[in-house]
């Protein structure tokens, strides 16, 4: 029996199968990925009360945000807080217990326009918040920066 005629047929079949598998896997990755078609839009205002060591953020408009996907990065006069707030939380090193609004772990809902949340610095965090300090808060969702707001502590 002559087997030389089978080799090109098997080779062609293998190439077709590999091509189909490659196209199918690429299609699955492209169609199955969870990529936002539109970037998140968010408008936030901030205030800082040096007497109460409190930083407050108000969702002024834009998309509703799941607090579990947020990160806050706070600087005071250009220096990052030693302990950053782990959003959402109830008690955390460097912060007084019981943040409000979307920053509290018990809230469990989206942060929507009109809602306010606040965190309160503990004396164990540095730098301390003083009147006339420039406070900058950056909100991130994953690695994407959503918004940065600045305020002056009163």
We report the CATH number of the domain holding residue 127 as 2.60.40
Q: What is the pLDDT of residue 104?
A: 95
Calculate mean pLDDT across residues 48-75. Answer: 95
pLDDT of residue 72 exceeding 80: yes
Q: Which residues of 144-154 are buried (b: 16+ CB within 10 A; e: fewer)?
A: eebbebebebe
Q: What are phi and psi of 64, to 5 degrees?
A: -70, 145
Q: Are residues 25 and 7 in the same domain?
A: yes
Binning pLDDT at 50, 70 and 90, where does residue 5 land?
low
Mean pLDDT of the chain: 87
Q: Are residues 83 and 143 in the same domain?
A: yes
Q: What is the pLDDT of residue 2?
A: 59
Q: Are residues 86 and 25 in the same domain?
A: no
pLDDT tens-place string over residues 16-40: 777 877 777 776 666 655 554 566 7
Cα–Cα dist 96/122, whole Å:
5
Q: Are residues 31 and 46 in the same domain?
A: no
Q: Are residues 94 and 124 in the same domain?
A: yes
Calculate mean pLDDT across residues 85-104. Answer: 95
Cα–Cα dist 147/63, whole Å:
12
Cα–Cα dist 58/115, whole Å:
6
Q: Are residues 108 and 48 in the same domain?
A: yes
CB 109 within 8 A of CB 17: no
Number of structural domains in the chain? 2
Q: What is the pLDDT of residue 28?
A: 66
Calculate mean pLDDT across residues 122-148. Answer: 94
Q: Are residues 2 and 58 in the same domain?
A: no
Q: Are residues 84 and 116 in the same domain?
A: yes
Cα distances from 144 to residues 15, 51, 79, 90, 103, in angstroms, run 41, 32, 21, 24, 19
Cα distances from 89 to residues 20, 33, 47, 92, 113, in angstroms, run 48, 29, 20, 7, 21
Q: Is the pTM of this model over 0.85?
A: no
Residue 95's domain comprises 42-152
Q: Are residues 116 and 141 in the same domain?
A: yes
> How much of the chain, in percent, has pLDDT values that exceed 70?
86
Q: Are residues 23 and 51 in the same domain?
A: no
Other CB atoms within a 10 A radius of the CB of residue 63 amount to 18
Q: Are residues 48 and 30 in the same domain?
A: no
Q: Are residues 18 and 52 in the same domain?
A: no
Cα–Cα dist 152/154, whole Å:
6
């Amino acid at each position: 029996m002559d087997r030389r005629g089978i080799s090109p047929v098997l080779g062609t079949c293998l190439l077709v199968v590999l091509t189909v598998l490659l196209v199918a896997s690429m299609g699955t990755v492209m169609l199955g990925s969870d990529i936002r078609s539109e970037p998140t839009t968010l408008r936030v205002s901030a205030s800082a009360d040096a007497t109460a060591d409190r930083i407050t953020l108000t969702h002024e408009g834009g998309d509703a945000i799941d607090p579990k996907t947020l990160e806050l990065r706070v600087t005071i006069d250009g220096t990052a807080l030693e302990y950053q707030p782990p959003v959402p939380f109830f008690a955390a090193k460097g912060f007084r217990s019981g943040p409000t609004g979307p920053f509290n772990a018990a809230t469990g809902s989206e942060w929507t326009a009109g809602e306010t949340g606040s965190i309160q610095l503990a004396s164990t965090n540095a730098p301390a918040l003083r009147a006339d300090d420039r406070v900058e808060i950056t909100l991130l969702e994953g690695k994407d920066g959503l918004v940065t707001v600045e305020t002056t502590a009163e």
